[in-house]
Structure 1
């Protein structure tokens, strides 16, 4: 069993340094004050990428493109291109049925898959998951899929969705060779359930901030979460070995 990788969203270079120093494997550039997938200014992303490549070369870096409507496909693809040009490993793009129709979502998934950029579709689960959109994603060369929430006031992803739906999402992603990630107001107390679900990536922001997700990262919370994730995955691996 491979270990779950911790993703932490950061808004600027100072927060990126904190996350990297804590040993976070996946550093996600996002502006929480600008929405669920608020974009960090492009002029900020490039220097952060350069700094992290020099100081923490093993870290992977993602960046969001903003909460763009599904119907504005040209604008979405343009933002994907300029974000990818900053050198990030992943470009995260929201697939939110609150911002467009299912047909627009399918068109966006197909265009993103054909873009040549390292896109990670982020399926926003507030209105449930449409299996036909996952089937469309499975036909594209995405290296990872994420499941997240748009309305952070409704609680965590694990409160909104049953395990069978989450297991199905993870299985569909892995079935086409993609990593599967879960995010959406996740809490450290949910690590036992997350460990049982065993996604490849688990994403956090609010749980490691002072106040809500719009607050600043707290180094002690970051370190505690990184340690808890490491222990949880180690214990799971030991249990699997004992049963083998």
Structure 2
């Protein structure tokens, strides 16, 4: 594995260190405001993602929310912060958020309605350039997003997204679901395809993040996929509803379940 991403996640190890060992993925939890961010940070998450679930799977949070949450980084310097910037086909025509706080390590945008647009990869590069004009150089990295249910939202195939991610020097690939109907990534993509994407990411020096209505019941399958990051929201919300508030106990239980399963996988 390339070492370019190694500083970002404690779970990243060299190929030699990983040989024969399944390393527990880093846990990313998405939050919508400062209150939820504090809950997630107190629970011990590895990565904190900021988005507004009412605005879609990668809904962009208000600039003041991003700023308020960024102020928490000083007390949690080892936690990595990310921000969702909405969907490319809508975000590329919106005004970029001014002065995205330097505390954010990486950002991402969704690719719904891009499959039928032959210029989507060009727009993706242009959008990245427009965002870079509003942030301090070198402070943020990009994650490409592949929707598992790409057919339902006219998004590019995951393999196409990965190819563009490699060509445009993204730092990682996130597989997520566009629809939040309760179906998970595993309902749309076979495990063999997910493993192939993960392997290609590692060979190309990108991290591989798995999301899409992932819950505790899916963790045994997640072990087999062996992602670098597991990203959740609904699974750690009250009543497992992604529009409800984050639950401290739910996050702690999820972390405990991950720890136990990965210990078992290595025993």
TM-score, normalisation: structure 2: 0.79
TM-superposition CA deviations, 1:135-192 (whole Å, max 9, x none): 2221222111101111011500111110111112112222210100010111111101
2:64 to 28, 43, 63: 43
CA apart distance, 1:108:
3.3
CA apart distance, 1:31:
0.8
SS of the equivalent of 2:49 reads: strand
C-alpha contact 1:148 1:183 (8 A) present in aligned 2: yes
SS of the equivalent of 1:155 reads: coil
- Taking the aligned partners of 1:226 and 1:135, their CA distance within structure 2 comes to 32
SS of the equivalent of 1:147 reads: strand
1:92 match? 108
1:18 match? 39
Structure 1: runs of 5+ lacking an equivalent: 240-244
TM-superposition CA deviations, 1:218-241 (whole Å, max 9, x none): 2111110011112223333x34xx
SS of the equivalent of 1:89 reads: strand
SS of the equivalent of 2:119 reads: helix
C-alpha contact 2:121 2:164 (8 A) present in aligned 1: yes
CA apart distance, 1:198:
0.3
2:119 to 92, 97, 104: 104
- Taking the aligned partners of 1:103 and 1:224, their CA distance within structure 2 comes to 44
RMSD of aligned C-alpha atoms?
Answer: 2.2
1:9 to 13, 30, 33: 30
TM-superposition CA deviations, 1:65-121 (whole Å, max 9, x none): 123417x6454xx53x6474453011111122x355352332234446665641111
Q: Which shows bigger deviation, 210-219 or 119-128?
A: 119-128
Q: Which shows bigger deviation, 86-95 or 21-30?
A: 86-95
2:13 match? none
Structure 2: runs of 5+ lacking an equivalent: 1-17, 133-137, 152-156
- Taking the aligned partners of 2:26 and 2:99, their CA distance within structure 1 comes to 23
The structure in which a higher percent of residues are helix is 1
TM-score, normalisation: structure 1: 0.86
How many pairs were matched up?
Answer: 232
- Taking the aligned partners of 1:132 and 1:159, their CA distance within structure 2 comes to 20
1:118 match? 141
